[in-house]
């Protein structure tokens, strides 16, 4: 018996329209529930690795791209069930309307799926960073950051190739072959960028420094804050933020101050030529006694030179790297004052033209 649901409108029954509308509305209403369900299933799969994983952090990362992907997928499948009038298949430039819609829908679906994959990589990096933070050596942390960016770039490239293949029906194999010549030209044009990329791998595997180390490079001293694919970011002593290309970090001489076992201090005393030999003989042992009373690991005191303007006594001592910068500076000031007091006690004057203390 003929009913209203069997009535055809533009080559589709009312029941078909209602079915499509019901599917789309149901997808909109249940997308959050369905997304959480699939996210929970994937979470349980990941949790089997035995690592303690924050479920809320995981779901919050992938829920939005998963919702969009499921909504687009269900909507496109439902709309594909309808028959469309031939009149809608008009030309738009060199393509038909149906081809444009098909390309747009496929592209949107691939973008949503790529976004989901990028979020999964973010969460995997979050797990590895949490594990790496429990270790004092920050090399693992910087490796996680580096490879997270690297794999996200690879996923983005794969997503672009999928769009070209399934969205625009391009032969990716021929496209890659055709782009090889262009790629060679680009490689020559971007030679420095490629060198920096290779240098970043050298830094990560050779480990001359890691994030958190204090280094001195190109007369600049600072703390390594990030090692990227192209450059290394350093926070200098002046609190400025500089980026040094990785190639320069590899090719130049980098002094990793964090790997020093001791701090070295050199003090030069320019003594007046009026000082007598017996006074100079008393000076070195007296300075050694002062250094012995303080937290000095090793020291050397000797009459370095004598000439027309002054007798030069050089004091060289080493302190522990466990000291904070403030403690180190306080110790230097304390010792310098004791050296001055000692010269006053021994009645040894400074030279008229004195050099500044190093």
Give the model confidence (pLDDT) of 104-157 as tens digits: 888 999 999 999 888 888 877 777 776 666 665 555 666 677 778 888 888 988
Cα separations (Å) of 335 from 294, 295, 310? 9, 11, 22
Confidence band for 1, pLDDT divided at 50, 70 and 90: very low
Domain shared by 20 and 120, yes or no:
yes
Residue 342 has pLDDT above 80, yes or no: yes
Taking alpha carbons only, the member of 296, 309, 304 closest to residue 280 is 304
Among 182, 210, 229, where does a domain finish? 182
> Can you give the C-alpha Rg of the chain in angstroms?
36
C-alpha to C-alpha distance for 151 and 165, rounded to whole angstroms: 21
Domain for residue 352, yes or no? no
Q: Which of 182, 203, 233 is the last residue of a domain?
A: 182
3-state secondary structure of 146: helix
List, edge to edge, every strand of the sheet that includes 262-271.
Answer: 262-271, 311-320, 298-306
Beta strands in the chain, from DSSP E residues, in sequence order: 8-9, 12-13, 91-92, 95-96, 214-217, 220-227, 231-236, 241-245, 255-256, 262-271, 298-306, 311-320
Considering only residues 254 and 181, tell me which one the structure prediction assigns the higher pLDDT. Answer: 254
Question: Are both 69 and 176 inside the same structural domain?
Answer: yes
| CATH code, domain with 292 | 3.30.70.100
Same domain (yes/no): 224, 340: no
If asked whether residues 86 and 143 sit together in one domain, one would say yes
Residue 84 CB contacts under 8 Å (≥ 6 apart), including other chains: 10, 11, 98
3-state secondary structure of 322: coil
Is residue 222 located within the same domain as residue 339? no
If asked whether residues 211 and 299 sit together in one domain, one would say no
351 part of a folded domain: no
Please give the pLDDT value at position 234: 92
The verdict on pTM exceeding 0.85 is no
Q: Look up the domain containing 222 and give its range.
A: 194-258
User: How many whole angstroms separate alpha carbon 151 and alpha carbon 354?
Assistant: 60
Q: pLDDT tens digits, residue range 199-250? A: 888 887 888 888 888 898 888 889 998 888 788 999 988 889 999 999 889 8
Note every long-range contact of 166-170, with CB atoms under 8 Å and residues 24 or more positions apart, other chains counting. 166/106, 166/110, 167/103, 167/106, 167/107, 167/110, 168/103
| Burial (0-12, 13-18, 19+ Cβ within 10 Å), 285 | exposed
> What's the rounded mean pLDDT across residues 271-296?
89
Contact in structure between 27 and 70 (CB atoms under 8 Å): yes
Q: What is the largest distance, in Å, between two alpha-carbon atoms of the chain? A: 130
How far apart CA 115 and CA 129 sit, in angstroms, is 21
Whether residue 165 is found in the same domain as residue 206: no
> Do 135 and 12 share a structural domain?
yes
- Decide: residue 196, CB within 10 A, 0-12 exposed, 13-18 middle, 19+ buried: buried
Q: Are residues 253 and 275 in the same domain?
A: no
Number of domains in the chain: 3
pLDDT 10s digits, 25-51: 888 887 777 777 777 777 676 666 545
Q: What is the distance between the alpha carbons of residues 313 and 299, in angstroms, rounded to a whole number?
A: 13
Q: Among 137, 159, 182, where does a domain finish? A: 182
Residues 121 and 209 in one domain: no
Do 157 and 93 have their domain in common? yes
**In angstroms, how far is the first alpha carbon of the chain from the final one?**
105
Residue 233 lies in a domain: yes
């Amino acid at each position: 018996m003929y009913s209203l649901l069997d009535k055809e409108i533009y080559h589709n029954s009312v029941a078909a329209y209602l079915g499509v509308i019901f599917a789309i509305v149901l997808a909109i209403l249940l997308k959050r529930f369905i997304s959480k369900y699939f996210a929970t299933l994937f979470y349980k799969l990941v949790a089997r690795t035995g690592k303690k994983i924050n479920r809320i952090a995981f779901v919050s990362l992938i829920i939005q791209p998963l919702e969009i992907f499921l909504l687009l997928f269900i909507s496109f499948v439902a709309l594909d069930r309808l028959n469309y009038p031939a009149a809608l298949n008009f030309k738009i430039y060199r393509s038909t309307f149906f081809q444009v819609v098909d390309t747009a829908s496929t592209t949107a679906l691939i973008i949503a799926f790529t976004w989901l994959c990028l979020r999964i990589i973010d969460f995997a990096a979050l797990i590895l960073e949490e594990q790496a933070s429990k270790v004092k050596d920050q090399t693992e942390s910087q490796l996680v950051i580096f490879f997270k960016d690297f794999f996200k770039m690879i996923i983005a490239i794969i997503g672009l190739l999928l769009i070209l293949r399934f969205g625009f029906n391009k032969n990716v194999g021929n496209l890659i072959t055709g782009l090889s010549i262009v790629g060679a030209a680009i490689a020559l044009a971007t030679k420095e960028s490629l060198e920096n990329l290779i240098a970043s791998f050298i830094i990560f595997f050779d480990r001359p420094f890691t994030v958190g180390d204090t280094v001195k490079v190109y007369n600049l001293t600072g703390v390594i804050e990030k090692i990227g694919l192209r450059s290394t970011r350093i926070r200098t002593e002046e609190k400025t933020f500089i980026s040094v290309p990785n190639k320069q970090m590899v090719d130049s001489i980098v002094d990793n101050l964090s790997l020093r076992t001791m701090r070295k201090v050199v003090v030069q005393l320019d003594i007046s030529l009026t000082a007598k030999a017996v006074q100079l003989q008393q000076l070195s042992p007296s300075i050694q006694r002062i250094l012995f009373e303080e937290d000095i690991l090793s020291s050397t005191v000797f009459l370095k030179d004598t000439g027309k303007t002054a007798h030069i006594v050089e004091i060289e001592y080493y302190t522990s790297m466990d000291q904070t910068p403030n403690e180190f500076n306080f110790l230097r000031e304390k010792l310098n004052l004791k050296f001055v007091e000692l010269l006053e006690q021994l009645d040894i004057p400074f030279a008229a033209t004195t050099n500044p203390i190093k």
